[in-house]
Structure 1
Amino acid sequence: MVRGDLAVFPFLSVMQMFLTSGRAGRLIVEHIRGGQLWLERGEIVHAEAGRLRGEHALQCMASLDGGIFTFEVGQEPPNRTLALRRDMALRRLLDDSEGWTALSRTFPDWNQRLRFSAKWNDAQPVTRAQYRVLSLVGDSQNIRMLLERSPDAPRVTLETLRPFLMAGLIELG
């Protein structure tokens, strides 16, 4: 078992180390945006983050900038939702992590709840995709749960909500 702190060892560096080593096992990250990744011979074969699985879970974990990680050698995946070899996996994680930069500043704490502000009114024009995401705002206990309930990828969901938050139509509370 290997343990460490992602504030000291960045997530991408940790992933590079484990993928390059070719070890098989489960990487667990304890954090509000954390989850679990299963690796086999330099390949990511499965990801889970809360109720998210596969691509959406991996994208969520790419946002990590902290947390405690544990790598358990020899743990078998419960499922196979991904087939990303080392170079492709690292490229995907790098691209996703760069895409999270602005969103992480806008939505820093996924334990917070989003709610409609007093500026919101029912005549507010929205697209069908925006409506689908906005309909989750009142029903979710926090941002993490909202992302788990959304049919869209986590980044797409937060990118949809971001202009409404910046305009003061929804707020963190």
Structure 2
Amino acid sequence: MVRGDLAVFPFLSVMQMFLTSGRAGRLNVDHIRGGQLWLERGEIVHAEAGRLRGDNALQFMASLDGGAFTFEVGQVPPTRTLSLRRDSALRRLIEDSEGWAALSRTFPDWNQRLRLSAKWNDAQPVTRTQYRVLNLVGDSANIRALLERSPESPRMTLETLRPFLLAGLVELG
């Protein structure tokens, strides 16, 4: 078993190390944005983050900037939801982590809850996607739970909420 801290060893560096080594096993990350990744011979074959599986779970974990990790060699994935070889996986993780930069500044603490502010009114025009995402605000315990319940990808969900937060129509609390 390998253990470490993502504040010391960044997530992308850890993933590069495990994917390049060709080891098979499960990477567990203990963090509000954490989850589990299963690797086989330089390939990501499955990802889980709470209720999320596959692509959405991997995108969710690409936002990681901290947390404790453990890698357990020989752990078999419960299912196969991904097939990302080393170079494709690393390229995807880099792109996803770059996409999270602004969102992480806007939504720094995923333990916080979102709610509609006093500025909100029912006459506010919204698209169908916005309606589906906004409908989860107030019904979720925190941002992580909202992302797990959203019909959209994690990044798309926060990108949808961001303008409402910046306009003061949605607030953290």
Q: TM-score, normalised by structure 1?
A: 1.00
The answer to whether residue 51 in structure 2 is matched with residue 57 in structure 1 is no
Shift of 1:68: 0.3
Structure 1 residues 77-96: aligned runs within 5 Å: 77-96=77-96
Amino-acid identity (%)? 87
State how 1:63-74 maps to structure 2 within 5 Å. 63-74=63-74
Give 1:20's aligned residue. 20
Q: CA separation in 2, counterparts of 1:129 and 1:152?
A: 8
Matches within 5 A, 1:1-173: 1-173=1-173
The whole-number CA distance in structure 1 between the counterparts of 2:60 and 2:160 is: 16
The root-mean-square deviation of aligned C-alpha atoms, in Å, is 0.3
Q: Could you tell me how far apart the structure 1 residues matched to 2:122 and 2:44 are?
A: 44
Show CA shifts across 1:51-75 (max 9, x none). 0000000000000000000000000
The SS at the match of 2:37 is strand
Unaligned runs of 5+ in 2: none
2:52 and 2:108 map into 1 onto residues whose CA distance is: 19
Q: What SS does structure 2 have at the residue aligned with 1:124?
A: coil
Shift of 1:138: 1.6
Aligned length: 173
What whole-Å deviation, never above 9, does each CA across 1:104-148 have from its counterpart, x for those lacking one?
Answer: 000001110000000000111111110010000021110000000
Structure 1 moving runs of 4+ over 2 Å: none
**3-state secondary structure, aligned to 1:70:** strand
TM-score by length of 2: 1.00
Amino acid at match of 2:62: A
- 2 CA distance for matches of 1:138 and 1:96? 27
- CA distance, structure 1, for counterparts of residue 28 and residue 161 of structure 2: 28
Whole-angstrom distance in 1 between the partners of 2:9 and 2:140: 32
User: For each residue in 1:82-105, what CA deviation from the matched residue of structure 2 results, as whole angstroms up to 9, or x when unmatched?
Assistant: 000000000000000000000000
